[in-house]
Amino acid sequence: MNIREELEQNEYTQLAPWAAKAAESRGRLLPEEENDVRTCYQRDVDRIVYSKSFRRLKHKTQVFLQPEGDHYRTRLTHTLEVVRISRTIARALRLNEDLTEAVAFGHDLGHTPFGHAGEKALTDITGRPFRHNEQSLRVVDVLEKNGEGLNLSYETRMGIVGHTGDFIPETLEGQIIRIADRIAYINHDIDDACRAGILTNQDIPRDIRMILGETHSERINTLVMDLIEHSRGKDHLERSPEIAETMERLRDFMFERVYRNPVAKGEESKARDIIGMLYEYYVKHPEKIPADFQTQLDFDGIERTACDYIAGMTDKYAVYKFSEIFIPTAWNVRG
């Protein structure tokens, strides 16, 4: 028996009966030989973390576009916070931490530059809904490794596409990410909004603060502990009605005061224009699409290929390409 087989056997004694077991995975899109040391979910984690799309998250907007300061969240730091919150929950509930971690690391790989402004821009210009969870699945299935994809396990893939939206993952590990994602972004967005000067902690309704806590750490602890306490020993996730309802009220408050705030969203029209103009340019000039995407043109056409290329850009790279294409370069005139 090799190390991987020992780890798989240990899951049956260490994890809850309803936890996902690596030995029972529904497999990959393309069958592969198993690794002697790592389980399938451990390999999924490594494939995601070593991918180019994961590295690009460090230069993708979370909420604030081009913020001045080093401490605002990006998609990468958001992802890391989701990983830590979700693993704490999974460990306490004796669920599969490796699968939980894989889904958490991969859930936002499909996010566009400029956050949800980019998502809306691609929706408007293509005439069909652009959903980052669906794009995240497309990234790991098709776009990574020059079109080969990462060939992840079924459970990881379904957790990624189901971290938001109508589809609910079959595994509790995947369902944890749906909650951990919200716990992370609501609370760190409060922190960033306070740093930006558009919100103070005292602006949060007092009744919400009394239930969830006065500080960033208190709120996260309340939300995490409530989920753990009400789900422990059960084959489903459960929260107390009071905490679940209060969390939704806090989310509504954030939409009203931050996510739709003109200060926080003041530059979004420019971001949408950048993405719109880039898309139109590449549709008219498919030969300008990088070589990595040229073979995709034969299968998906220019509209889908241009959408994939732009969606994968970082904020900085989108601005750079826009400047390169549309802004005249300085030139010297000899007198």
For residue range 64-77, what is the model confidence (pLDDT) as tens digits? 666 555 678 899 99
pLDDT at site 68: 58
As a whole number, mean pLDDT of residues 47-63 equals: 93
For 41, phi then psi, to 5°, come to: -75, -35
For residue range 205-237, what is the model confidence (pLDDT) as tens digits? 999 999 999 999 999 999 999 999 999 999 999
pLDDT at site 279: 97
pLDDT at site 81: 97
- Which of 33, 12, 176 shows the shortest CA–CA distance to 92? 176
Share of residues in the chain with pLDDT > 90 (%) = 85
Amino acid at 274: I
Contact between residue 104 and residue 138 where contact means Cβ atoms under 8 Å apart: no
- Which of 9, 63, 287 shows the shortest CA–CA distance to 187? 63
Between CA 157 and CA 138 the distance in angstroms is: 10
Crossing angle of the two packed helices 172-196 and 97-106, in degrees rounded to 10: 50
Q: Helical H runs in 51-96? A: 52-56, 75-92
For residue range 230-245, what is the model confidence (pLDDT) as tens digits? 999 999 999 999 999 9
Q: Which pTM was predicted?
A: 0.94
3-state secondary structure 150-183: CCCEHHHHHHHHCCCCCCCCCCHHHHHHHHHHHH
Between CA 118 and CA 130 the distance in angstroms is: 9
pLDDT at 62 over 80: no
C-beta neighbour count of 320 within 10 angstroms: 12
CA distances from 43 to 22, 63, 286 (A): 11, 31, 36
**Tokens describing residue 265:** 């969203």
pLDDT category, 61, cuts 50, 70, 90? confident
pLDDT at site 334: 54
Between CA 172 and CA 237 the distance in angstroms is: 7
For residue range 5-34, what is the model confidence (pLDDT) as tens digits? 999 999 999 999 999 999 999 999 999 999
Q: Which residues contact 136 (CB under 8 A, 6 or more apart)?
A: 106, 107, 108, 109, 110, 111, 160, 161, 163
State the Rg of the chain over Cα.
22
Q: Which residue has the tokens 């080969």?
A: 148
Look over the chain and give the mean of its residue pLDDT values, rounded to a whole number.
93
pLDDT at site 330: 62
pLDDT at site 333: 52
For residue range 259-300, what is the model confidence (pLDDT) as tens digits? 887 766 667 888 899 999 999 999 999 999 999 899 999 999
Hey, is 80 helix, strand or coil?
helix
pLDDT at site 64: 64
pLDDT at site 329: 73
Q: Which residue has the tokens 């004694």?
A: 13
**DSSP assigned state of 259:** I
pLDDT at 321 over 90: yes
The DSSP-derived string for 85-142 is: HHHHHHHHTT--HHHHHHHHHHTTTTPPTTHHHHHHHHHHHHSS---HHHHHHHIIII
Between CA 93 and CA 227 the distance in angstroms is: 10
